[in-house]
C-alpha cells in the first residue's frame, strides 16, 4: 500500500486560504468516502480535523473544510491563523487497511 | 474524560522483546476500533494496524504484518503493541488512537510512546 501523495509544503499569509491536496487511487481515496485529515504540531500527537471527507468533529473551527473529487481529496484552511502552522496528513480507508498521506507542512507567513 | 494513556518511553537493545500499552478510559473501550501509528524520527505517520477490543478482530497493514503483534485485554481496557525481536529501525514514536466519532475517524489519541533501539 503506497502512501497517498501530498505536496511537501504550502503557505499563506494570515487571513488567506490554503488548500492541500491528497491524491490516491480508486482503491483508497476514490473508492470510499472515508478520508480524514489530521493536524500535528511539533512534538504533539495528531489531531483529527476532518473525517468522512467533509465532516468536522466538535470543536474544530469551521475555517477547516474538506472535499473530494475522484481520487483526490482536499483540505482547505480559510482565514489562516498563526496556530494553523503545523503538519497536515490525510488518511484514507483502503479496504481492510488504511493509508496516510506523505504529509504537508503549512507555514503561516 | 475520554482518554488514551500510553506506557512510558523505552530504551532497548537490538534483539530484545518489548510490549507497550495503551489504556482507554471514559468511554466503552470494547465498542470502538483502536489503531497503532508509527512515526519515525523526522518522518510522517504510518498505520500499523487496528484492533476491535470487543472481539480482538485485528487488521495489520501489509508493511507491518508479521513484524509486530497487536492485542487487547478488554478486562482492563488496554491495547498492546509488541515486538519479539527489536531492530534499530524500530526506533520511533508510537501512537495509539481510537475512532469514536465516525468511520475511520481516529479522534482520541494517546500521548505517544518513544521507543529507542540501540546497542
**What Cα–Cα distance (Å) separates residue B34 from each residue in A5, B45, B54, B98, B108?**
25, 16, 11, 4, 9
Whether residues B45 and A103 touch (CB distance < 8 A) is answered with yes
Query: What integer is the mean pLDDT of B71-100?
Result: 97
Q: Which of B50, B103, B111 sits opposite A45 (nearest CB)?
A: B111
pLDDT at A96: 83
Backbone angles phi, psi at B88, to 5 degrees: -60, -30
Please tell me the distance from the alpha carbon of residue A80 to that of residue A43, in angstroms, as a whole number. 21
Pair A19, B87: CB distance under 8 Å: no
- Encode pLDDT of A58-75 as tens digits: 999 999 999 999 999 999
Give the bridge partners for A5, in sequence order.
A23
List the grid coordinates of A92. Answer: 484514507
- What DSSP state is assigned to residue B7? P
In chain B, the percentage of residues whose pLDDT exceeds 90 is 97
To the nearest whole angstrom, how far is the Cα of A82 from the nearest Cα of chain B?
A: 22
B59 touches chain A (CB under 8 A): yes
List the grid coordinates of B47. Answer: 498505520
- Encode pLDDT of B34-80 as tens digits: 999 999 999 999 999 999 999 999 999 999 999 999 999 999 999 99
Query: What integer is the mean pLDDT of A73-90?
Result: 98
- Encode pLDDT of A24-70 as tens digits: 999 999 999 999 999 999 999 999 999 999 999 999 999 999 999 99
Which residues have CB under 8 Å from B69's CB, separation 6+? B80, B81, B82, B83, B84
Give the bridge partners for B109, in sequence order.
B97
Residue A26: Cβ within 10 Å count: 10
Please tell me the distance from the alpha carbon of residue B69 to that of residue B81, in angstroms, as a whole number. 6
Question: B66 in helix, strand or coil?
Answer: coil
Query: What integer is the mean pLDDT of A16-24?
Result: 98
The residue assigned the cell 488514551 is B4
List the grid coordinates of B42. Answer: 523526522
pLDDT over threshold 90, residue A6:
yes
Which residues have CB under 8 Å from A28's CB, separation 6+? A1, A4, A92, A93, A94, A99
pLDDT over threshold 80, residue A1:
no
Amino acid at each position: 500500500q503506497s502512501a497517498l501523495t501530498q505536496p511537501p509544503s504550502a503557505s499563506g499569509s494570515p487571513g488567506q486560504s490554503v488548500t492541500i491536496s491528497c491524491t490516491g487511487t480508486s482503491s483508497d481515496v476514490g473508492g470510499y468516502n472515508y478520508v480524514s485529515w489530521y493536524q500535528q504540531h511539533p512534538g504533539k500527537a495528531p489531531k483529527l480535523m476532518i473525517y468522512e471527507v467533509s465532516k468536522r468533529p466538535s470543536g474544530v473551527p469551521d475555517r477547516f473544510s474538506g472535499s473530494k473529487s475522484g481520487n483526490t481529496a482536499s483540505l482547505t484552511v480559510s482565514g489562516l491563523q498563526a496556530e494553523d502552522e503545523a503538519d497536515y496528513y490525510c488518511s484514507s480507508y483502503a479496504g481492510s487497511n488504511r493509508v496516510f498521506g506523505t504529509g504537508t507542512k503549512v507555514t503561516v507567513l | 474524560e475520554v482518554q488514551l494513556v500510553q506506557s512510558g518511553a523505552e530504551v532497548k537493545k537490538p534483539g530484545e522483546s518489548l510490549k507497550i500499552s495503551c489504556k482507554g478510559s471514559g468511554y466503552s473501550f470494547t465498542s470502538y476500533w483502536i489503531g497503532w501509528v508509527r512515526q519515525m524520527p523526522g518522518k510522517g505517520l504510518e498505520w500499523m494496524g487496528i484492533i476491535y477490543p470487543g472481539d480482538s478482530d485485528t487488521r495489520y497493514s501489509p508493511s507491518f504484518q508479521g513484524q509486530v503483534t497487536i492485542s487487547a485485554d478488554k478486562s482492563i481496557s488496554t491495547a498492546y503493541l509488541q515486538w519479539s525481536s527489536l531492530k534499530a529501525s524500530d526506533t520511533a514514536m508510537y501512537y495509539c488512537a481510537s475512532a469514536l466519532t465516525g468511520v475511520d475517524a481516529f479522534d482520541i489519541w494517546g500521548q505517544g510512546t518513544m521507543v529507542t533501539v540501540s546497542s
